Amino acid sequence: MTRRDVALLILILLLGGVITTAQKVRRGLSPHLRVEGLEFLEGPLHTFSDTQEAAQAPGGRLTLEAGHGDVEVMTWSEEKVRVEMQKRIHMESEEKAASEVAGFHVEIAKSAEGLLARTTGTRPAGLETRFTVMVPAASALRLIGEDGSVEVRGVKGDILIKTSHGDVEGSDLAGSLEIINDNGAVTLRRVQGPVKIQTAHGDIEASDVGSGADVTSDNGDVTLSRVAGDLRLAHTHGDVSISEAGGAVRLTGRDSEIVMEGIRGPVDLSSEHGSVRLERVGAETKLVVPHCEVTARDIRGNLTVTVQGESLEATSVQGTVKVDSSAGSVRLTDVAGAIEVTGTHTPVEIVRPGSDVTVATSNQEIELTSPSRKGFRLDARSDQGEVESDIDQLHLPSERPSRFAGVVGAGGARYRLSTSHSTISILSARPDSDPDKAD
């Protein structure tokens, strides 16, 4: 037997095995199960609908237990609720399909809180459902599902949405909104009432929220813009973007890349591992951010930062700055209030300070550039290091000392600087600095 004959025999055996396996699999599957890429379906897709209506009291609540199926809710001018369930199934014939789904339908009944819509009967295998719901605009809603997307538009009453697998979208809503979604994205536009969101896996995007927001998110990106009230966010694993928030922001995170811009109220942020960038914060800012790289600009209140293992750079702070840093680096520029830095193995650079400066670090250099033109008092000490300056008025000796005290001008500001095993530098200006910004 030649090699060609052997190869042909192997090919025939493999083909026979594939055919046998496919036949066994097909016999073991439900005739209604859809398998992507495999022709196991029996017959074409057939679509049927079941519609129920019931009168709705003004401001009444509709509860929909959707089970498995997408839900779309819209408003109309009628004083009643209409629920249409679309049923889709693959069958050999339309008659067989109609018989299969005939025992599964939707019903609307009165409940203590208003109306309850739900499915009844046995759900056929392979059936897909979609609910289209029309309600008066003032209605309240409770939408409970297991698998399927939810979309709500124009409803003015309070809303609760709970689903396990599916995206949620809401727009032009006036009441309070609570969303509990295990796996799926949440997208909101123009919600006047307070918002509460809890999701385990999925991105969250919300804009133009007229009241506050309370968000818990794991494993997904969060984008919040134009939130009028206070904002609370608990987040892990993903990017966070918050812009144009009108109230206070309280954020706890982990493994998060965080960006905040245009925050009018105070910021209280606690996060570990990731990065933080703040810009245009209108009130006091507190950061506890170990292992996060931090950049802050245009902070109009006091800034307090605890950081470890990463860099901190803050520019244009109108209040005071207090920093506790370990094994990182600190650079502060144009701080109007007093500066206090406590560091371990942390190099510190201060540019154009506007008030008193106190820095205590170890084994790293301290550099203070462009000190106050109104004068300052200097008390600098470097254990087993040295103090240097290019400012003639300090009258440093030619041999750089490890400790030096001196006065320039009226001595208005006071600089207390200490480190070890490194250099303390007091410089008149950096080559790239703007002398017009000095005091």
- pLDDT tens profile 22-52: 444 444 444 444 444 444 456 899 999 999 9
Mean pLDDT, range 291-315, rounded to an integer: 97
- In this structure, the answer to whether residues 159 and 44 fall within a common structural domain is yes
- In this structure, the answer to whether residues 18 and 60 fall within a common structural domain is no
> Does residue 309 sit within a domain?
no
In this structure, are residues 271 and 291 in contact, taking their beta carbons and an 8 Å threshold?
no
In this structure, are residues 222 and 238 in contact, taking their beta carbons and an 8 Å threshold?
yes
Which of 268, 299, 330 lies at the terminal end of a domain, its last residue? 299
- In this structure, the answer to whether residues 187 and 153 fall within a common structural domain is no
The pLDDT tens digits of the residues spanning 177-236 come to 999 999 999 999 999 999 999 999 999 999 999 999 999 999 999 999 999 999 999 999
- The share of the chain scoring above pLDDT 70, in percent, equals 88
> Does residue 177 sit within a domain?
no
- In this structure, the answer to whether residues 131 and 206 fall within a common structural domain is no
pLDDT band at 373 (very low <50, low <70, confident <90, very high): confident
- In this structure, the answer to whether residues 267 and 158 fall within a common structural domain is no
pLDDT band at 15 (very low <50, low <70, confident <90, very high): low
- In this structure, the answer to whether residues 138 and 241 fall within a common structural domain is no
> Does residue 191 sit within a domain?
yes
> Does residue 304 sit within a domain?
no
The pLDDT tens digits of the residues spanning 227-275 come to 999 999 999 999 999 999 999 999 999 999 999 999 999 999 999 999 9
> Does residue 173 sit within a domain?
no
The pLDDT, as a whole number, for residue 213 is 97
**pLDDT of residue 118 exceeding 90:** yes
- In this structure, the answer to whether residues 161 and 252 fall within a common structural domain is no
- In this structure, the answer to whether residues 79 and 128 fall within a common structural domain is yes
In this structure, are residues 43 and 92 in contact, taking their beta carbons and an 8 Å threshold?
yes
Nearest to 65 by CA among 162, 149, 182: 162
* 434 or 197: which leads in pLDDT: 197
Nearest to 90 by CA among 46, 54, 53, 50: 46
Domain that holds residue 350: 320-439
In this structure, are residues 396 and 425 in contact, taking their beta carbons and an 8 Å threshold?
no
> Does residue 313 sit within a domain?
no
**pLDDT of residue 4 exceeding 70:** no
How many domains does the structure of the chain reveal? Answer: 4
The pLDDT tens digits of the residues spanning 376-408 come to 999 999 999 999 999 999 989 888 899 999 999
- The HSE-up count of residue 193 (CA atoms within 13 Å, CB side) is 19
Mean pLDDT, range 276-301, rounded to an integer: 97
- In this structure, the answer to whether residues 335 and 428 fall within a common structural domain is yes
> Does residue 248 sit within a domain?
yes
- Please tell me the distance from the alpha carbon of residue 101 to that of residue 49, in angstroms, as a whole number: 10
- Please tell me the distance from the alpha carbon of residue 51 to that of residue 67, in angstroms, as a whole number: 17
In this structure, are residues 143 and 159 in contact, taking their beta carbons and an 8 Å threshold?
yes
Mean pLDDT, range 106-114, rounded to an integer: 91
The pLDDT, as a whole number, for residue 398 is 82
> Does residue 426 sit within a domain?
yes
- Please tell me the distance from the alpha carbon of residue 129 to that of residue 83, in angstroms, as a whole number: 12
**pLDDT of residue 338 exceeding 60:** yes
- In this structure, the answer to whether residues 275 and 239 fall within a common structural domain is yes
- In this structure, the answer to whether residues 25 and 47 fall within a common structural domain is no
Enumerate residues 6+ apart whose C-beta is below 8 A from 111.
63
Enumerate residues 6+ apart whose C-beta is below 8 A from 160.
141, 142, 143, 178, 179, 180
**pLDDT of residue 361 exceeding 50:** yes
- In this structure, the answer to whether residues 151 and 199 fall within a common structural domain is no
